[in-house]
A and B are shown apart, each in its own frame.
Chain A
Amino acid sequence: MSHSAVAVAPEREVLALRGVSKRFGAVQALTDVDFHVGAGEVVALVGDNGAGKSTLVKVMSGVYQPDGGTISFDGRDVTIDGPAAAQDLGIATVFQDLALCDNLDVVANLFLGREIRRGGFVDEVAMETEAWRLLRSLSAKIPSVRIAIAGLSGGQRQTVAIARSLVGAPKVVMLDEPTAALGVAQTAEVLNLVERLREQGLGVILISHNMADVQQVSDRIVVLRLGRNAAEFRTAETSTADLVAAITGASDNAVTRRAERRATETETAEPATVGLHKGDPA
């Protein structure tokens, strides 16, 4: 979209993946995927179910090792060989399946793996105080931080998982469908949070099926389809119809025809084309 070159001014790139592939047995979940997020940038990652979004997130958070491709963080090439490595780099993740321990209470879950210590023992008081601060800042409706996660509703669990990603001082926060189980007010809180994180100069990766949410908060939208880069848009210049077409890959409907017309008019990547990024002129 050449008429808005101004928006393409690159943010300082924090996390970047080049040519990443991941295969599960017979399923090629990711093929040659490029992806990056800058400091103070919100990138939405969208795509149909099974497009490979969660797999990409897990590659970036060290849960899966990619079969090919490179990852760089703050300009340096890195290997994220496990969740601890991702944490050390400052990559925090809210997983789609939340990954909480049902038998532990809220405080223990929030600080799992990063317990505050005092004289060799875990400091329950400091952790509980900090837990309340984090949860209040998310307007969390959680009656007690001393009940086991098993006793919380889906939305409450999701809030805990989100609060968990804010413990420590992350540089990149990835949210895999963070609002799927949330109510209206809390969804708004999460979107506010995403904006606050951007203001603080963090890179945010947001996965959501809600196009309205995505368009509200993101700067850039990356579309995956069948494990490949399908398209990439500047949010400000993109209509819902463009997105839908890119996500579904439908080539024979009014939405795509319109998108194709726009693409030729504005030299934008045709949404269904693989391998074009940043909305560079075609």
Chain B
Amino acid sequence: MSAPVTDPVADPTAAGVPADLLDERLIQEQGLVGAVLAFVRRVRSGELGSLPVVVGLVIIAVVFQTQAQTFLSSRNLVSIAQFAAPVGIIALGIVLVLLLGEIDLSVGSMSGLSASIMAVLVTYHAQSLWIAIAAAIGAGVAVGLVYGLLYTKVGVPSFVISLAGLLALLGLQLRTLGENGSVNLPPTSGLIVFARQKFVTGGAAYGLMALAVLLYVGARLLTWRRRRAAGLSTEPLTLLAVKAVALLAGLLYAAYYLGIDRGIPYLTILFVVLVVLVDLALRRTRWGRHVFAVGGNEEAARRAGIKVDRVYISVFVSCSVLAALGGLLAAGQLTSVSQSSGGTDTNLTAISAAVIGGTSLFGGRGSAWSALLGIFVLTSIQFGLNLIGVDASVRYVVTGLVLLLAVAIDSVSRRARSSSGRG
């Protein structure tokens, strides 16, 4: 980038201080202790990130483990991980629309419609599974496009569009399913096998975890080298080493512990991979940058030359596609599709998960990981309450309260941010 400013700039590295740490007001902490102190300061100023939800998960684990001894058993954890994935994938799409400060209330219906299309094509029309999946995903693309165009060209609020969509898509789902109102997938369907019976165990599981850590460390080291070459501050290598070892130990233990039962579900791996990809797209691509910009200040984004309409449309399409995919996987998991597939429960769980995980309802703030954390919180609560044998009624009340708590935390931390200058 050439800029017309030609003033000679003092060599920032002359004093041996990285170019970005020259300002004497910048509070600097070195090394490990520094990293911990910096974290504490961030939290106090309202930059909570995923801290509340991690604390929540620990509380959930402790409470349910004392109530029902099998809560933390390998079997239960594998089931939670597997069961959480489909709705988690739907929640991932919700994270995207929330980042724009919008909402999609119809993801449940979308997932149900997608599952119905797939099931009907496979069972009644003898289509191959891949064609059926492509058709279902295509329906997601179409619905997302309609939403995006209605929002950007007509200006209907997303709340209203998706509320209308919720009903319309449910209608289409009922129409697609026909008189029986429910379709059983063939027991040998690849979708069922993938969603229910495929697990990674043993050496493969350990290898997968090691690979993940290797990729993480590799990426960090590359950044580290480039930053150093450019004369910018770098993360202390000891800190990186500590993080890497902790991550590796944690993941290997998880692989071992889940391996006691069935292992790591394919479904969960797909979910995590999608989260990582969406996270990468959000933080490291122009598209992601523009999503945050539009969510933060749409007018500023427009004046920066960003094609705001395209950002909205792409996000609505992504959300509907992820909802369609989640619906397909849920169908595989339940082995059948019915009129109640993707009902209210799915909708609210997916939306709550994104918010509970720490993505702000107010736009411009959040992360793909909040879908993962949030859905694990909700699924854990559901499984825990089932284990202690309480009624579904209690479950709804508890889920509602957790959602309220999450939004309250979001609102309070927003206030803390504005009083400590983090907007």
Contacts and interface: CB of A to CB of B under 8 A. Distances in A.
Interface of A: 61, 63, 82-84, 86-87, 93, 95, 98-104, 108, 112-117, 120-122, 124-126, 128-130, 132-134, 136-138, 141-152, 166-170, 193, 196-197, 200, 202
Contacts of A102: 296-297, 364, 423
B23 interface: yes
B286 A87 contact: no
A151 B289 contact: no
A101 B289 CA distance: 11
B383 to A, nearest CB: 35
Contact of A151 (B1, B9, B301, B422): B422
Given A129-B232, A200-B4, 10 more contacts: A83-B304, A101-B292, A102-B296, A103-B423, A104-B293, A125-B226, A125-B232, A143-B25, A169-B3, A202-B4
A197 B232 contact: no
Contacts of B4: 166, 169-170, 196-197, 200, 202
Contacts of A145: 20
Nearest to A152: B421
Contacts of A200: 4, 6
24 contacts: A83-B303, A93-B303, A99-B297, A99-B299, A99-B304, A102-B296, A103-B297, A103-B365, A104-B292, A108-B289, A113-B301, A114-B1, A121-B280, A125-B232, A128-B230, A133-B3, A143-B26, A148-B423, A152-B421, A166-B3, A167-B3, A169-B2, A169-B3, A196-B6
B184 interface: no
B9 A144 contact: no
Contact of A143 (B1, B7, B23): B23
A150 B423 contact: yes
A115 B5 contact: no
Contacts of B12: 132, 136
B123 to A, nearest CB: 41
B2 A137 contact: no
Given A99-B297, A145-B20, A196-B5, A122 B422 contact: no
A87 B5 contact: no
B292 A61 contact: no
Nearest to A99: B300
Contact of A150 (B9, B10, B303, B417): B417
A144 B23 contact: yes
A60 B235 CA distance: 44
Interface string B301-315: 111111100000000
B129 interface: no
A101 B1 contact: no
A122 B285 contact: yes
B227 interface: yes
B344 interface: no
Q: Which size bracket describes the interface of B in this complex?
A: 35 or more
Contacts of A141: 23
Contacts of A99: 297, 299-300, 303-304
B20 A146 contact: yes
B301 A150 contact: no
Given A103-B296, A133-B9, A143-B26, A113 B305 contact: yes
Contacts of B295: 103
B1 A130 contact: yes
A82 B366 CA distance: 29
Contacts of B20: 128, 132, 144-146
Interface in B254-305: 280, 284-286, 289-290, 292-293, 295-297, 299-305
Contacts of B227: 125
Contacts of B9: 133, 136-137
B274 to A, nearest CB: 18
B231 interface: yes
Contacts of B210: none
Q: Which of B2, B297, B306, B420 has the most CB of A within 10 A?
A: B297
A83 B23 CA distance: 34
A117 B3 contact: no
Interface in B1-43: 1-7, 9-10, 12, 19-20, 23, 25-26
Contact of B296 (A63, A101, A128): A101
B418 interface: yes
A138 B364 CA distance: 29
A116 B1 contact: yes
Contacts of A116: 1
Contacts of A100: 297, 300
Given A102-B423, A150-B421, A150-B423, A115 B305 contact: no
Contacts of A132: 12, 19-20
Contacts of A125: 223, 226-227, 230, 232
